[in-house]
Structure 1
Amino acid sequence: MAEMTRLVAPQNLPGLVKAAFDAARVNGDLTYYPTQVVILTPNSIPFQLRFSPALALKPKAPKPKEPHGKPFNPFENPSPAMLIADLPPSHRLVLNKFAVVPEHFILITKEFKPQTHVLESADIAATYACIQAYRTHGHELFAFFNSGPHSGASQPHRHLQLLPVERMRDGLEDVDRGGEWNVLAEKIAEFEKVLPFNIFTASIRPDMTAEERHSAYLELYRSAVKATFLDKEVDSEGEAVISYNFAMTSNSMAICPRTAEGAAIKSKSGQDVGVVSFNGTVLAGTTLVKDQVEWDVLREDPDQLFNILKGIGLPPLADTNG
């Protein structure tokens, strides 16, 4: 079985991604949205807040339908301009068409599989193969997966998203001189007592088999389900019974059960001034706003970010254990 899921990523993957991103950007096949960034420390957790006013102008095109009235699926037959590489036998890598982080790319299943199903061994193996290909070149990747209505998921075709950590640091040179920010999923143990919500984590190692890594993911998923529904039977395949975000780095996996996609941002006078939504990048310790008022309010009142984060998941274990 281990051999069946031995997926290998191209050894020059960082170079392939960069070349594909640069070409697609020059040719107008993707849009890159630059951001401003600050580091907030809600409850002492270093958190990137990014602001992209251009993203608010992103055209909300009506979803094109295919001839039989089926919703358009951008991952079914990706355009050659978006394709980075094949990962035989089951996956391929494509660029993200609307990038906030440069070189943001996506791992998709070749055949349609639902985003709402529990991840399979090949999904985990392919993700880890990409992470290892970056590591070989001295780079780190942050991979995340959004599943369910409260997770920030947008496409029904199964996909995991991959962000080069170096590119996630773009713009931090001026605001993070102390180097406080790091991928949160790697630092959960350090912040366990101050986290706003429950996160389950596991360490992973290069010498694990594909099945051992998949088992570690399933164990985290089971823990997340049990924390959400005490007596729920947990299947290790098929439709997931909770909304959650999953993240993977070279050293760790993390799952955050989700109960809401986001929450309202309020002004000092208590007026709603916007909404901030979160996907799996919350497990990196980053979030994004598109509106100047939201940007101003959260920078002035970082505690509000912590309160918003408290509302999107389960109470942290420290709270529930009294």
Structure 2
Amino acid sequence: MNESLILSEFDKLQQSGLALYDQNQKIIKHVEGGLKFQFCVTSALAKKPTFQTPQSSADEPRDGSDISTAGFEIGEIGNAHLLIANKFCWANPHFLLLTSDGYRRQYESLDKSDLQSLWSLLCTMSTDYIAFYNCGQDGGCSRLHKHLQLIPTPEGTFASFLDSAGLEPEPQVPFQWFHHRFDSQDMTAQYLAEIYDKLLGQATEIGGGLSEHAHTALPGAACPHNMIMTKRWMAVVPRRRAAVTKAVAANAMGMLGYIAVATEAEVDEWIRAGLTESLKELGVSK
């Protein structure tokens, strides 16, 4: 599958109104504690389901899945993954990379197959994309079917220093995170899996027993975390909870200071709650 086909299919879905994207969304910037935050205010999130939202009776997801892909499918990536358009886009374009097996779960850790399909997709795109995984309820997931998300890489996130090859200082975020710049010219699924396992191991050491739902962890569940990856680096953020209040909630990108919200009132609530203090509660405080 090539980039032009992927983008063409996404554009068709957006223009038809199936993939919701707010053409008038805006970015609100805010600085607190020496950290630069960006709020993406988009009405496309107004109807986005939560973890507790039941599947609509009108949807017909594949066996085991709670994500209906009918009409949103773009194509297969490898033998084990499917690329679809996100129904509720806060980026243009905004993709989901799902496991073809609808019984794979969002609380599992990523495996070599997931990372191989993801790397293949990242390398297919000429534009710089960032991929992220919200692992578990406390990691910010809203559906159970295992999936990653991809959007064009925004500028000025907390992780942007990783693109500077050591020339920019690491921002003093208030939570624990672990990251690795890729240094191998021969990028393989095995190499990516080894890096991910190492970072997840570090995250699990400090975050494994601290999550809000740790007492109800399912067999095979990984430590709640976010994985974020580009073609140049990978980061893992251990999570304690998905939200402080209904409005003050964050997925993987939110933990990098790029927070998608439906209204400006939610921005105000974040600021009242304190952005750095909220991130401490959502992650594992330093």
Q: Indicate the TM-score class for this superposition, using the shorter chain for normalisation.
A: 0.7 to 0.9
Partner of 1:306: 276
Aligned-pair CA distance for 1:54: 5.7
> Contact 1:90–1:110 at 8 Å: present in 2 too?
yes
1:119 and 1:62 mapped to 2: Cα distance? 25
Any unmatched runs of 5+ in structure 1?
Answer: 1-9, 169-180, 231-237, 265-273, 317-322
Larger Rg: 1
Cα distance per residue 1:59-82 (max 9 Å; x no partner): 898523589xx886325xx32x31
SS at match of 1:150: helix
2:159 pairs with 1:185: yes
Q: Could you list the structure 1 runs, at least 4 aligned residues long, displaced by more than 6 angstroms after superposition.
A: none
**Identity of paired residues, percent?**
26
2:90 pairs with 1:141: no
> Contact 1:247–1:283 at 8 Å: present in 2 too?
no
Match of residue 13, structure 2, among 24, 31, 45: 24
Cα distance per residue 1:125-153 (max 9 Å; x no partner): 1111111122xx2x211000011121111
Any unmatched runs of 5+ in structure 2?
Answer: 210-218
> Contact 1:185–1:247 at 8 Å: present in 2 too?
no
Partner of 2:80: 90
2:49 and 2:238 mapped to 1: Cα distance? 31
For the aligned residue pairs, the C-alpha RMSD in angstroms reads 2.8
2:172 pairs with 1:194: yes
> If the length of structure 1 is used for normalisation, what is the TM-score?
0.73
Question: Match of 1:305, as an amino acid?
Answer: L
Aligned-pair CA distance for 1:208: 2.8
The 3 A distance-change label for structure 1 pair 195 and 23 is same
The alignment of Structure 1 onto Structure 2 pairs a total of residues equal to 265
Partner of 1:209: 188
1:240 and 1:185 mapped to 2: Cα distance? 26
Question: Match of 1:199, as an amino acid?
Answer: W
2:131 and 2:186 mapped to 1: Cα distance? 19
* Structure-to-structure mapping, 1:237-316, within 5 angstroms: 239-264=220-245, 275-296=247-268, 298=270, 301=271, 304-316=274-286
> Contact 2:49–2:142 at 8 Å: present in 1 too?
no
Aligned-pair CA distance for 1:284: 4.1
Partner of 2:144: 156
The 3 A distance-change label for structure 1 pair 53 and 314 is same
Aligned-pair CA distance for 1:85: 1.9
The 3 A distance-change label for structure 1 pair 92 and 46 is same
